[in-house]
Structure 1
Amino acid sequence: MDLRQLEYFVAVAEERNFTRAAERVHISQSGVSAQIRQLERELGAELFDRSARAATLTAAGRAALDHARAALLAAAAVGQSVGEVTGLIRGRLSIGMVIGCTITPLFDALAAFHAAHPGVEISLVEDNSGRLVDGVRAGTLDLALIGTSTASHDGLDSLTIIEEGLVAAVPAGHPLAKRRRVTLSDLSAYPIVCMPPGTGLRTVFDQACAARGVRPVIALQASAADAIAGLAARGLGVAVLSDSMAAHYRDLLTARAIDDVDAPAFLSLVWKPNTSPAVRELLAYGRRAFGMAGPAAGVGAGPAGEGR
C-alpha cells in the first residue's frame, strides 16, 4: 500500500461517496475506485459496503480508518519537520477574513509570503467573525483576521492589529454635527447605518446599547465602510464606524466620539497554538507589514479597513 491509497480511502470514508471523494482528491472516480480495490486486495478485506447509495465502512474499514489518518498525519509531519530545517515551506494555508475587509498591510503580507514560498497553496475565504473563529477552532482555517469585541479568545493565540473606539459620523448640517459630545441616547433619536451582526464593531455597539437600555433603530446595514459612509452622507442615517474608518471620510462626514461606549473594537489575527511552520512564517510577514517588531499586541496599524 502507499500513501496515495490511504488518502483516497480516508476521502471516501469521510465523504461517504466515491464521486465526492474523487472531486476532493482531484482525480477521476474510476481512479479512486481502482486504488481502493487494490488496497482491499492487499489487505485481504473489503473496506466499504457498496450495496447502498452511500459508501459505508465495513468493520474492517472502521478498524483501518484511524490508522490511515494517523499515517497521513505522520507523513505530513515528516515533510513539515524537514521543511523547517531546510527553510522550505510547502502545503496549504487556509485563511479567513472578515467580510468586506480591505486591510492593505494584510494583502502586502500575503503577497510577500507567496513570493517567498510559492510552494504553499493559499486559499482565502470571507465570513463573519464568529464563524471564522469557529473555523480556526475546528481546524478548517489555519488563520483568520476577525473583528471582535475582545482581545483574547479561549484556546487560540491572537495578535491585535487595531484597537479603537466607536464614533458617530454625520454630514454637515446634521444636528449631531453641532454637538461636542454624543451619547447612545442621542443616537437613539435617529436611524443608524452600521455593520451587520457578526462584526466586531456591531458587537461592541450592540453590547453597549444593551448595557444602557438603549434600543437604536438599525435602518441600514453594510459590510463596507465606503457603503456606510456613502449612505450616511446622503442623509439616510447616522453612521457608526471606528475612529480610523471615519477619518477617511472627513470630507463627507463629521465624526463625534460616542462617549458612553467604553469598550473598544479590535481587529485581530487568531490561530491555534502550536501551529504549522507556514502559519508562523505568515505571522512574521504580517508583523512586519503592520509595523510590529515582535509578537506584541494592541498596536495601532494605520488605516483601519472595512468589515469589522
Structure 2
Amino acid sequence: MDTQHLQAFVAIAESGSFSAAAERMHLTQPAISKRIALLEEQLGTHLFDRIGRQVALTQAGQVLLSKARLILNEVIAAQRAIADLNGQVDGSLSIATSHHLGLHYLPPFLRAFSVRYPKVKFDLHFLDSEQAYHEILQGKFDLALITLALEQDPRLQSHHLWDDQLLFVAAPSHPLAAQQNLQLADLSQHSAVMPDTSTYTTQLINQLFESQGAMLTIGMVSNHLDTIKMLLSIGLGWGLLPKRILNSELVVLDVKHDPIKRPLGCIHHKQRSLNNAARVFLELLQEPHIKT
C-alpha cells in the first residue's frame, strides 16, 4: 500500500469529510479522492459510505483505520531512527500541552531549548489534558505535557515533573469568604465552578469529597482555568485553582484540609520512538536548575 494513500484515508476518517482532509493535507479534493479510489481498488472494497457531504467508515474502513495508523507511525519511526543516527538535534518536535502548563510551566524550557538547539522546529498544540492524552495514544505527537491521569494506560510512559498545589478560593464578597474552619460539607452547600467532570482535576476533587462523605455541587463548568478565575472573581461560586495563578481578586478560603496537589508531567507512547529532539527536550524538563 502507498503511504500517501493511507495518509489520505486517515485524514478523511479523522476529519469526517474529503474537503476537510484535502485542506489538512494541502491537496485538492479531486487529488485526495483519487488516492482513496486507488486504495479502494487495491483492497477490493469500499472504505467510506458517502452520506451527503459527510462520510462514515464502512466495516472494512474501521478495520483498516487502526492498522493504517500503526503503519504510518512505523514509517515515521523508521525515518526518525535513520535521521537520528548522525546524533544531531534538529528536525521537528511535536508537543501537545494543556493551556495551564503551556502558559505557566513550559516557557522557560522552551526558551532554553530554542537557544541550545535553534535548528529544531516546534510544533506546539494547546489541548485539554484529556484530549492530549488521547492524541498521544493515537501516536499523533512526540510528547504531551498534561495533568497526569489518575490511572495510567500501560501503553504510555509517564514522567511526573511537578505538583500543582490547588487552593479553595472565592471572591471576597462570597458568603464562604467570611467563614472560618470550613469543612468540605460546608462547601457542599454552595455551588462550585469547576472543569468538566470528565477531567482529571475534577475527578480528583470528586474523589476527595466522596472520601469525606460530602457532595461536590457544581454550578458552572469551564475547562479553562483563566475563565474559572474570572467567574469566581465576580462571585459566581467557589472553586479550586492553582496557587501560582491567584491574584487579589480572590481570597483563599479557610478550609481545614491537607494541601491538595495534582500531578503534572510528560507522557509519550512507548511504541513511538523518541527522536533526538524529543529525547533531549525530555531530559531538559528534568533539569532542576531551570525555574518554572
For normalisation by structure 2, the TM-score amounts to 0.69
Deviation at 1:72, TM superposition (A): 8.5
Match of residue 268, structure 1, among 243, 265, 268: 265
CA distances 1:142-189 after superposition (whole Å, capped 9, x unpaired): 222222464955332223333244322133465543445332111112
The CA RMSD over aligned residues, in Å, is: 4.4
> Residues 90 and 216 (structure 1 numbering): CA distance in 2 closer, same or farther, change over 3 Å?
same
Deviation at 1:271, TM superposition (A): 1.4
Unaligned runs of 5+ in 2: 51-56, 58-62
> Residues 175 and 222 (structure 1 numbering): CA distance in 2 closer, same or farther, change over 3 Å?
same
Aligned counterpart, 1:306: none
Aligned counterpart, 2:3: 7
Structure 1 segment 212-251 matched on structure 2, within 5 A: 212-245=212-245, 248-249=246-247, 251=248
Unaligned runs of 5+ in 1: 41-45, 57-61, 294-300, 303-308
Distance, in Å, in 2 between the alignment partners of 1:242 and 1:71 is 39
Three-state SS of the structure 2 residue aligned to 1:232 is: helix
Distance, in Å, in 1 between the alignment partners of 2:220 and 2:141 is 30
Distance, in Å, in 1 between the alignment partners of 2:79 and 2:153 is 30
Distance, in Å, in 2 between the alignment partners of 1:105 and 1:161 is 10
Structure 1 segment 187-202 matched on structure 2, within 5 A: 187-202=187-202
Distance, in Å, in 1 between the alignment partners of 2:9 and 2:147 is 36
Distance, in Å, in 1 between the alignment partners of 2:239 and 2:46 is 60
Aligned counterpart, 1:43: none
Distance, in Å, in 2 between the alignment partners of 1:221 and 1:47 is 48
* 1:146 and 1:200 in contact (8 A); partners too: no
Identity of counterpart residues, as a percentage?
Answer: 20
Structure 1 segment 163-178 matched on structure 2, within 5 A: 163-172=163-172, 174-178=174-178
User: Which piece of structure 1 moves more, 95-104 or 205-214?
Assistant: 95-104
* 2:157 and 2:269 in contact (8 A); partners too: yes
Distance, in Å, in 2 between the alignment partners of 1:235 and 1:33 is 53
Distance, in Å, in 2 between the alignment partners of 1:211 and 1:105 is 30
Three-state SS of the structure 2 residue aligned to 1:169 is: strand
User: Which piece of structure 1 moves more, 22-31 or 79-88?
Assistant: 22-31
Deviation at 1:96, TM superposition (A): 2.1
Larger radius of gyration: 1
* 1:170 and 1:255 in contact (8 A); partners too: yes
Distance, in Å, in 1 between the alignment partners of 2:213 and 2:261 is 19
Distance, in Å, in 1 between the alignment partners of 2:48 and 2:171 is 61
Distance, in Å, in 2 between the alignment partners of 1:226 and 1:31 is 43
* 1:252 and 2:249 correspond: yes
CA distances 1:222-256 after superposition (whole Å, capped 9, x unpaired): 333333333333322223223334xx32x222213
For normalisation by structure 1, the TM-score amounts to 0.66
Aligned counterpart, 1:141: 141
